[in-house]
Chains A and B, each alone.
Chain A
Amino acid sequence: EVQLVESGGDLVQPGGSLRLSCVVSGFTFSRYWMSWVRQAPGKGLEWVANIKQDGGEKYYVDSVKGRFTISRDNAKNSLYLQMNSLRAEDTAVYYCAKLIVGSNYADYWGQGTLVTVSS
C-alpha cells in the first residue's frame, strides 16, 4: 500500500523558517519525481515544487523561488521542503505527492501538514 506521511507543520512567525518532511512507503521512492502542493485555508490547490528522482532537477512556483528548497533523501525514502523567509500568505496545508512516470500527474497524496505563519 502506497503511503505518504507529512510532518513538520507548525505555527511560525513571519520571516521564520520551517522544514517539512514526507516519509513514503509502498513504492520505490527513488524511481519517481515528487511534488509539494499547498492549499491556503478555504482556497484552492496551488502547486509549489517538483523534484526529479535524483534531485538533479527542481522546479518552483514563482512565489516561493529563492525562499523554499525542495530536496530528497532516497536512502531514507524522504522528501523535504525547507521554507525560509516565511510570509503570512504561505499559511496553508502542505501536501506531498508522488508523480507517475513520464508526467507531472500526481497519483498519490499525503494527508497534509498545516503551516501557519502569524505573529
Chain B
Amino acid sequence: DIQMTQSPSSLSASVGDRVTITCRASQGISSWLAWYQQKPEKAPKSLIYAASTLQSGVPSRFSGSGSGTDFTLTISSLQPEDFATYYCQQYNSYPITFGQGTRLEIK
C-alpha cells in the first residue's frame, strides 16, 4: 500500500498569511494526487486534483504542485473560511489512501 504522510499535522496561522502543506507518498504516484478540505461536522470538499488542477469553483488562492512523491498545497492569502483540516489523497493505485490530515487553526 502507498503511505501518504502530511506535514505539519497542525498549523497555526493568521488571516492574510501564506501557508504551505506538504504531502509525501511512500512511492511514486506521478500526478495522481488530490487535496480535500474538511470543516467540522461537514463532508469533505474537493479542492485540487491531478496535483495542480483546481476544482471548479475553488478560489484561485489555492494552488497545488508536485509530482512523483512530493507534493504541496499552498494557500496564498488565508481567509477566515479557510480554517479547516486538509487531506491529501493518492489515487494512483488501489488501495486509495489518504494522508492523516493537517489541521489549520487561527493564530
Taking Cβ atoms with an 8 Å cutoff, the residues of A that contact B are 37, 44-47, 50, 59, 61-62, 95, 100, 103-112
Contact = CB atoms under 8 A, between A and B. Distances in A.
Given A45-B89, A45-B98, A107 B44 contact: no
Given A44-B87, A44-B101, A103-B32, A110 B95 contact: no
A45 B44 contact: yes
A104 B91 contact: yes
A112 B43 contact: yes
Interface of B: 32, 34, 36, 38, 42-46, 49-50, 55, 87, 89, 91, 94-101
A103 B49 contact: yes
A45 B87 contact: yes
Nearest to B53: A105
A109 B44 contact: yes
Best-buried of B87, B89, B96, B97 by chain A (most CB within 10 Å): B96
A100 B87 CA distance: 18
A87 B3 CA distance: 24
Contact of A95 (B43, B55, B89, B91): B43
Nearest to A111: B43
A108 B46 contact: yes
A47 B98 contact: yes
Contact of A107 (B32, B55, B94, B100): B55
Given A95-B44, A106-B46, A107-B49, 15 more contacts: A44-B99, A44-B100, A44-B101, A46-B98, A47-B98, A50-B94, A62-B95, A100-B49, A103-B32, A104-B96, A105-B46, A106-B44, A109-B44, A109-B45, A112-B43
A45 B95 contact: no
Nearest to A106: B46
Contacts of B43: 95, 109-112
Contacts of B91: 103-105
A110 B44 CA distance: 9
Contacts of B99: 44
Nearest to B55: A107
Best-buried of B34, B43, B44, B101 by chain A (most CB within 10 Å): B43
